[in-house]
Chain A
């Protein structure tokens, strides 16, 4: 297999040399795209430090840097180490010596970031992946900020041994986070819209195969029939040929995007890379199969293909029956919803599968949508909340909150299920749930006064 070229932050390199090093190792990118473990360099700032006290005499004439763009480009082209370029920039800056010590520090940091190409390879985790997704692909995870995800895992009491229901359209990130916290113990039922669950982010975690043994999936479109008792597998995979295709297409395309995302990220693990290669192989296989089908001349391949499809269908059906049975027990230990859909109908239906005295958490990017459910019955301790996250710069004499913070990381509606009163039959209760809370007179007066 030829070495895979990774492109990250305008750099390109090969990962081969990283193998055998421990996670957390920092590498320098050399000219040939090879990685070289970075040596701990003692900062050579021991030389007599010269610094100004204020900027009253510093004038922005645009001529403080004596090196021209072409000079710098020439240095880079010669393959000179970033560290040395930074040193040259400092030496050729006429104002550097007049800057305050803090300003010098800042200048060096900025230049280092630009010229010193170092990458650190770290192990995937919910912390890393959720931070990464929020920074790079917030649209794919419905702008679910990582601290909001952290809240969901805690409020949902996610732990080993649970039987969880997860409905997400966050590229499989929420699913992965739940899987990490469950450590392969217990079971997860993922409800999916469309042709199949998207698990592009899940595959980045590099979970062992065992974690997938008790991961089930159930199509959202069959929830109503399951609840009303008309669910049957006979009506099910009559359309799977299209479905399977759609599923693989959509999975394929997200995986493709995932590849590019990973390439631009710092830790494409070999496992994740393998995963991608596998799906790619699968894809090409399917495409070939299609071709064969269209040509209709290679009978043998066609028959094998049919048999393979039937086998897959049968397996899908079997898994579906198992999952339906798991849901029918209506004893799940919690419900996590984080999707692009309106959460109220999801919650109203899916909560029926949850045992009493269990927590549920619903994420929505918008406060307005989440509060619609607020007045429902059958649940207690309802809370609509949001978290704010503020990062700090902590340096001697220069500590302060970071200049920018995220404006919004979404809203959570959480609560606990309870045993429904026997008086209300299920259906009438549902009707009551679907109705908006009658606007209370008491509120009116209070609200006007606040």
Chain B
């Protein structure tokens, strides 16, 4: 296992994802002789995990079962220990595409935070690219280094513990892209520019507040960045449900019900409306939006150095 390469079987030292059910999972470090408690009972690593195929169903001591999944940056994002607010896969996806990242890209990032974006960046630029990530909080920087080592990606990333606004990224003229997720990104635009390759590159800044965006855009313009573009991406998730709605009783005679406009012959299972006249209901499948959704994470401002 590694975050940049699929493996078939679970090995000692792997980070695996225990999937308990809908949206319920957690990461586990696989170690000989260790046990993990779940609500379905105990998982014994030596016998239940090591040597098994990723994607297997594992029966726990109480008879319940879980699936063991191969780690990916996306699963890690959903399960990582939070040290800061993190970026989620929806924002990460548009960042990766708009920064034009691919194998071989050199990326600068600050701050490292909890490493949610870092893992996704490393995945994309591997095996020949590199991530230079800057975190001014010493403890967070060290924790990130430790995780990268555990996940088998330390050769693809350099963590520097310094203030990006004062000291920059510690590299110059080598980056294809720069990403900023700091409180005052406008103070780091100059450093970002010098980190980018002489022939140009892309930059992205993530900020929750519009005032931050305005200052950042002004700074980008001042430093000669072009193609400045601010956007926001929102994820809408749907639950798939079979809905049945009661037909109102308008006092018509029972025989007349057949002319209510619902095609009672069309009871196929392709999700088309199905009238069950005996019960006085109409059934159909629908994608129902969640009652609550994330309405705002942050504005993403992209620009080009050319």
List A residues at the B interface (Cβ < 8 Å): 22-25, 125-127, 130, 146-147, 149-151, 153-155, 157, 159-162, 180-185, 331, 333, 355-359, 367-368, 371-372, 374-375, 380-381, 383-394, 396, 399, 411, 416-419, 421, 435-437, 439-440, 443-444, 446-448, 450
Contact = CB atoms under 8 A, between A and B. Distances in A.
Contacts of A359: 72, 74
Contacts of B73: 157
B229 interface: yes
12 contacts: A22-B200, A147-B94, A159-B126, A358-B70, A368-B287, A384-B238, A387-B235, A388-B234, A391-B229, A419-B55, A436-B269, A448-B246
Contacts of B287: 367-368, 371, 384, 411
B240 A183 contact: no
Interface string B219-241: 00000001011111111111111
Contacts of B100: 125-127
A150 B93 contact: yes
B240 A391 contact: no
A344 to B, nearest CB: 9
Contacts of B56: 356, 418-419
B213 interface: yes
Interface stretch (B4-12, B36-44, B106-114, B257-265): B4-12
B4 A159 contact: yes
Given A359-B74, A371-B286, 19 more contacts: A22-B200, A22-B306, A147-B94, A147-B233, A161-B4, A356-B53, A371-B285, A375-B240, A385-B235, A387-B90, A392-B299, A394-B228, A394-B301, A411-B238, A417-B55, A419-B55, A439-B242, A447-B243, A450-B288
B93 A183 contact: no
A146 B98 CA distance: 10
Given A180-B102, A416-B69, A396 B127 contact: no
A392 B217 CA distance: 12
B190 to A, nearest CB: 19
Given A150-B96, A448-B246, A159 B103 contact: yes
A389 B199 CA distance: 30
Contacts, number: 206
B6 A421 contact: no
B231 A399 contact: no
B46 to A, nearest CB: 20
A447 B242 contact: yes
B270 A356 contact: no
Q: Nearest 7 A-B pairs (CB), nearest first?
A: A356-B55, A183-B103, A24-B306, A357-B55, A436-B269, A154-B93, A357-B54
Contacts of A358: 6, 55, 70
A183 B125 CA distance: 9
B72 A157 contact: yes
B92 interface: yes
B294 to A, nearest CB: 11
Contacts of A356: 53-56
Nearest to B77: A154
Contacts of A157: 72-74, 123
A23 B306 contact: yes
B67 interface: yes
A444 to B, nearest CB: 5
Interface in B1-37: 4-6, 8, 19, 22
B184 interface: no
A153 B57 contact: no
